[in-house]
């Protein structure tokens, strides 16, 4: 049995851990929000109680303990509101962090993607096969022979009446009775087959429900594994780009620095010379999640000045004497 890549197993473990933590944090945030709403209602009631006690106190020289009790209750509820508000803000921040971690979660390799894809395809084929079997059995059900026993019974009654009137014979009745018995046998056989087919269809439909659920589960896993793989490749590519972008701008700075030094000594030999300001390199930023790996890199005048200064310093450290102009 082929083992799964370690990176994929780690990704699945991380996904389960982060998903559980997010669910727990979301539930805690909801509970805290409910408590905050209740506390805010009680705070408004405490406001009203303080105002009422204050009004009563103003009508008497001695306010008594009622006002202080109302104010004390108000302070206690206000402290609850502040506590719940701070807790809710912290929990929402945790949820946002966990969502970001889930969003940037990556791992696995192309073989794992293909394996998940094969699993989803197999589950889909199983569901499609069951749909086909159900359709076949419904067609068989609709194709069962039908016999109108009521019409035959009515015809038998008419023959019996005709015999009573002397208009028909026993032979006529016997012939009809043979048809009647054959029809009864067909109806009995059809009824048994109908019940059997209906039972088979019910069983297949139950299996189809299970197969659809399995296909959905496999399809979700396929999308999940593909997402992990693509995110990992994206993150790797972003890192590669960041390294190349920084290196490219650094090398351009070295070119500019040497060009300026050469231009100050032998302008005709300069690679860029006085036209260097016509050349501008701009590289877009790159980030993973909320972390910038490369900010926007711009080959502007300030950068060229700094790059030239750095090159001069490097040459001077190696013992090269350079004048102000060279």
The residue to which tokens 């059809």 are assigned: 190
| Residue 260: per-residue pLDDT | 82
Phi and psi at residue 186, to the nearest 5°? -65, -45
| Residue 312: per-residue pLDDT | 85
- pLDDT tens-digit profile, the chain (326 residues): 344 444 555 667 787 788 889 899 999 999 999 999 999 999 999 898 888 887 777 766 556 688 788 889 999 999 999 999 999 999 999 998 887 777 666 777 788 888 889 999 999 999 999 999 999 999 988 877 666 667 777 777 887 887 888 877 788 778 878 878 877 777 777 778 888 889 999 999 999 999 999 999 889 888 888 888 888 888 888 888 888 888 888 888 888 888 888 877 776 665 554 445 556 777 777 776 656 667 767 777 888 888 888 888 888 888 887 876 65
Q: Tally the C-alpha atoms within 13 A of residue 60's C-alpha that lie toward its C-beta.
A: 12
Quote the CA–CA distance of 175 and 168 in Å, as a whole number.
12
Contacts of 219 (CB under 8 A, 6+ apart): 120, 123, 124
Give me 225's structure tokens.
């594994």
Phi and psi at residue 109, to the nearest 5°? -140, 180
Contacts of 112 (CB under 8 A, 6+ apart): 4, 5, 8, 225, 229
Give me 15's structure tokens.
């996904």
| Residue 2: per-residue pLDDT | 45
| Residue 148: per-residue pLDDT | 66
| Residue 214: per-residue pLDDT | 93
Q: Quick one: which of 24, 89, 47 has its CA closest to 39?
A: 47
- E strand or H helix at 292: strand 291-294
| Residue 277: per-residue pLDDT | 55
């Amino acid at each position: 049995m082929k083992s799964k890549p370690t990176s994929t197993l780690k990704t699945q473990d991380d996904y389960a851990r982060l998903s559980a933590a997010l669910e727990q944090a979301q539930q805690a945030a909801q509970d805290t929000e409910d408590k905050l709403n209740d506390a805010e209602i009680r705070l408004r009631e405490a406001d009203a109680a303080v105002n009422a006690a204050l009004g009563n106190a103003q009508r008497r020289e001695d306010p008594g303990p009622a006002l202080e009790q109302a104010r004390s209750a108000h302070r206690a509820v206000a402290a609850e509101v502040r506590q719940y508000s701070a807790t809710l803000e912290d929990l929402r921040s945790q949820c946002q962090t966990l969502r970001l971690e889930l969003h940037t979660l990556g791992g696995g390799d192309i073989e794992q993607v293909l394996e998940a894809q094969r699993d989803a395809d197999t589950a889909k084929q199983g569901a499609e096969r069951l749909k086909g079997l159900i359709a076949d059995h419904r067609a068989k059900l609709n194709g069962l022979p039908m016999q109108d026993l009521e019409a035959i019974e009515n015809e038998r009654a008419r023959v019996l009446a005709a015999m009573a009137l002397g208009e028909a014979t026993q032979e006529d009745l016997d012939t009809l009775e043979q048809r009647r018995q054959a029809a009864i046998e067909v109806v009995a056989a059809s009824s048994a087959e109908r019940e059997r087919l209906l039972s088979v269809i019910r069983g297949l439909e139950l299996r189809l429900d299970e197969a659809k659920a399995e296909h959905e589960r496999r399809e979700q896993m396929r999308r999940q594994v593909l997402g992990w793989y693509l995110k990992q490749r994206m993150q790797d590519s972003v890192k590669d780009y960041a390294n190349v972008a920084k290196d490219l701008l650094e090398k351009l700075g070295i070119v500019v620095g040497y060009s300026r030094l050469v231009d100050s000594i032998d302008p005709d030999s300069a690679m860029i010379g006085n036209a260097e300001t016509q050349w501008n390199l701009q590289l877009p930023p790159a980030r993973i999640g909320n972390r910038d790996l490369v900010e926007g890199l711009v080959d502007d005048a300030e950068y060229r000045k700094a790059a030239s200064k750095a090159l001069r310093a490097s040459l001077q450290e190696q013992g090269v004497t350079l004048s102000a102009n060279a």
